[in-house]
Structure 1
Amino acid sequence: MNGERMREVRQQLGLSQAEMKDALNRRLRRSYDKPKISRWENGRESIPDDVAAELAALLEGRPRQARVIVLANQKGGVGKTTSALNLAYALRRGGREVLLVDMDPQATATAGILAGGAVEAYRQGRTMAQVILTGKPIADIIISAGEEIIDGCAPPFDLAGSHIDLAETDGRREPGFDAALREALDEVRGRYDFIVIDAPPNLGMLTWMALAAAQDVLIPVRTEPYDTMGVGLILGTINKVQRRLNPGLRLAGILPTQYGKRKSVDREVLALLVQAMGGKAPVLTPVPDSAVFGHAARNGRIALEASPSSPATQVYAKLADGLAAGAVLPRAVADMVLDEQEG
């Protein structure tokens, strides 16, 4: 979109530059001023992609509909929760409305954000266990960004937390139960730009629910031989969900984690993963192994918040930028990996 087209859109909407500024700030959670609108319309500054998309939505009167992204892998310890937290934070930092849904009964993401407040959230009946097991509206359990459950415990983005009671889900057998999460999220999709789901480390009912509710799936996997060997299992599950429950589910990519560029085994495994996937799934830029994740977790913080300039956390920032812009996500390239090996 160029400046002339932006002016035409504003005039079609019957808005002044000040009113246009207010509308964009409300929808994008930004703080643009009137001179910024003027500079865009006069062509002195380029119009950001998210602003252009929002203007198109305003013109068409389209309601906001969240893009739902699930992080899933049946293997534990692959950085799935770390990836969910940092991706959600990166999207929120970029001005998007974000909801993180913790579907893991271990509630690691919930505890990582709320610490002692996770117990209070359960006492108040504000966890996904109440939503999935009792049919409570998800809007009633969401903890809003900045809301303190107890003193000092507030999430940086909206949170639908978890609890060990959610493990009872795997014992439920009733028609259509695998669509319970999708139906719950339909009630609030208009409130968000992105909903990020942290699935449990198994291929049970909760993972099926998460995949059935999502549009995109990211598979975090450590660059370890045994971990990458298990990728086929989650790919098989995704294929079944696509056929039976959610034909619109898209594999957005495999996200290598805890990658040690100086370790020959890591380089070899990454190169083999890129080659093995071929056209099946994109292998994304790996997340470097870094102490920033452990340090942040010990201090009850998200790594991207605590160390925004670290090369490790910057992978999540760039991934979020790609998702928000609808662009091709940053990928690991086999030739580059092999060059590293030879170097």
Structure 2
Amino acid sequence: MSEEQTPAGADASAIRRLSEAREKIVAQLSQVIVGQTEVIEELLICMFARGHCLLEGVPGLAKTLLISTLARSLNLSFQRIQFTPDLMPADITGTDIIEENRSTGARERRFLEGPLFSNMILADEINRTPPKTQAALLEAMQERTVTVGRTRHQLSDPFFVLATQNPIEQEGTYPLPEAQQDRFMFKVFVNYPSFLEEFEVARRTTAVQVDRIQPALSGQEIIELQRTVREVPVSDHIIRYALSIVRQTRIGTPGVPDFVSDQVGWGAGPRAVQFLILGGKARALLHGRTHVTTEDIAALAKPVLRHRIVVNFAAQSDGITADKIIDQLVSVTPSKEDALTNDARFKKIFAS
């Protein structure tokens, strides 16, 4: 099946539903947020693909404002958790308390839910809290349950964690290990605004502000859209293309490019392939298509892979970043099916 063909049985109404949802959310966000178009799209892709997102950027770039405004534009319960060095796991998961039953006088155990029992969680400055609390959050992200004592409690559905961290102030922080960052579908960089965007920010924020954010989607509608994303078909060629990009990050694998062997200490795991394909499905629908192309996969390679590739010390000292390596990988990976499957180097990668 070629990339240009629409697969049989594809639901054209899926495009309309997701397109309408996107327009509603963007319209609400634009009342408060200036620019950040790419960041907003990646957040929406992550949400509709049922993933979690890690945002990184210097202070003052409206990361927290963006997430809180997104929560207001959705008819979901929302909790903001400010991560601090003294935050304990029970502070976010909840705890059992002993209280007296007024009718019988007996003491009974009751579970008091923590802030994780909401649909959308803003984990603000996640790298400021100790690993024990980070692990409690990451367990909830992966299992979508919380275990307190001997009882497992189911979290709400839908459930998103949008975490922020500051890349420049490392004193008193506990950086997330790569294995824990792997729980996040995307790692999104929030960059400085352009001149015109910053001009608009300065104009808006120094005048009287009136925003009328209205919920654009309900929780049930989001769940239905997530199910629609899963139903988008993907050709074998697209899966091979995603696999080829990810498998080229793994040093020691036959056919891996020399620059990867020289610059990478550790590569991405199978979860990266899953998120590339799921993200590609959501992006395709957001862009008005019911089929995934190699362009979708290439466009999401950075947010999916940048926190799953460990650049070795020698490469870091030369100013090489994970993003630069990903750009090289995309450039050396053919997007056409015949070129990919007939290339001797990729035959080695697929056979390993």
| TM-score range normalised by the length of the shorter chain | 0.3 to 0.5
Q: Higher relative contact order at CA 8 Å, sep ≥6: structure 1 or structure 2?
A: 2
- Identify, as 1 or 2, the structure richer in helix: 1
- Identify, as 1 or 2, the structure richer in strand: 2
TM-score (ref. length: structure 1): 0.32
TM-score (ref. length: structure 2): 0.31
